[in-house]
């Protein structure tokens, strides 16, 4: 674990703008770098790297925060949405909210909703549901788990809700879909 001086750590936790010209911090779990004054939730200390400047953070593969815009850097909408989409593709099975995703990627829910829809042609929630349904179909065709277990595995917190959405999209229940060998009605 890289050593972070207490003075720098306190600046991050307290969102202290007096340190903005002293260092940039990057969060390994999100791949984002920020100014010490960034108002996003404080990361875990073990996930933080300290850099002298934004250029060094960028060279290490980190991207600028949308919220604090370190050194005025703004990530293009397509790239930001692409990174969020890639993260959703890996985390679709978790409980996901627009607010949680926006906070994780240092943007506002409104901004995320608007840009995601502009770039992807659908809202983040529509994208998550589409992805979950595609994976559910694949599991119904290849896996012998119960419908309830598949529903949970793809991230639906309510099996009846999953069944309702599935029936609306595919014209039959997940169980019927499986019995018919994956044929849509």
**Residue in this structure with the two tokens 């994956």, named with its chain if needed:** 182
Distance (Å, rounded) from C-alpha 132 to C-alpha 162? 10
Choosing from 15, 34, 38, 172, the catalytic residue is 34
Q: What is the mean pLDDT of the chain?
A: 89
Q: What is the per-residue pLDDT for 12?
A: 94
Q: What is the per-residue pLDDT for 75?
A: 62
Distance (Å, rounded) from C-alpha 78 to C-alpha 80? 6
Q: Which of 3-7, 28-32, 69-73, 130-134 has the lowest mean pLDDT?
A: 69-73
34 is catalytic: yes
Q: What is the per-residue pLDDT for 83?
A: 87
Can you list the alpha helix ranges (DSSP code H) found in the chain? 6-13, 54-59, 77-91, 98-104, 109-120, 124-142, 147-153, 159-170, 174-179
pTM of the shown model: 0.64
Q: What is the per-residue pLDDT for 152?
A: 95
Residues with Cβ < 8 Å from 74, sequence gap 6 or more?
64, 66
Mean pLDDT of 124-151: 95
Stretch (H or E) spanning 173:
none
Residues with Cβ < 8 Å from 24, sequence gap 6 or more?
33, 34, 35, 50, 51, 52, 53, 54, 56, 57, 70
- Summarised one tens digit per residue, pLDDT across range 67-91 is 888 866 556 788 888 889 999 999 9
pLDDT level of residue 147 (50, 70, 90 thresholds): very high
Q: What is the per-residue pLDDT for 185?
A: 47
Mean pLDDT of 11-40: 91
Mean pLDDT of 44-52: 92
Q: Do 50 and 8 contact (CB within 8 A), yes or no?
A: yes
CB-neighbour burial class of residue 181 (10 A; exposed 0-12, middle 13-18, buried 19+):
exposed
At residue 135, the 3 state secondary structure works out as: helix
Q: Domains for the chain: give ranges and CATH numbers.
A: 6-72 (3.40.10.10), 77-124 (1.10.10), 126-179 (1.10.10.60)
Mean pLDDT of 45-74: 83
């Amino acid at each position: 674990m890289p050593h972070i001086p207490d003075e720098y750590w306190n600046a991050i936790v307290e969102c202290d703008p007096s340190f903005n010209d002293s260092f940039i911090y990057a969060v390994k779990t999100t791949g984002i770098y920020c100014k010490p004054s960034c108002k996003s939730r404080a990361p875990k200390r073990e996930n933080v790297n300290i850099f002298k400047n934004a250029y060094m953070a960028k060279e290490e593969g980190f991207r600028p925060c949308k919220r604090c815009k370190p050194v005025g850097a703004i990530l293009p909408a397509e790239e930001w949405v692409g990174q969020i989409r890639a993260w959703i593709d890996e985390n679709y099975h978790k409980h996901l909210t627009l607010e949680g995703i926006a906070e994780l990627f240092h943007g506002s829910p409104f901004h995320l909703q608007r840009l995601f829809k502009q770039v992807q042609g659908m809202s983040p929630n529509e994208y998550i549901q589409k992805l979950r349904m595609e994976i559910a179909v694949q599991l119904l065709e290849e896996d012998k788990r119960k419908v309830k277990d598949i529903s949970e595995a793809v991230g639906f917190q309510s099996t009846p809700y999953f069944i309702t959405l599935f029936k609306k999209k595919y014209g039959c229940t997940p169980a019927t879909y499986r019995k018919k060998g994956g044929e849509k009605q």
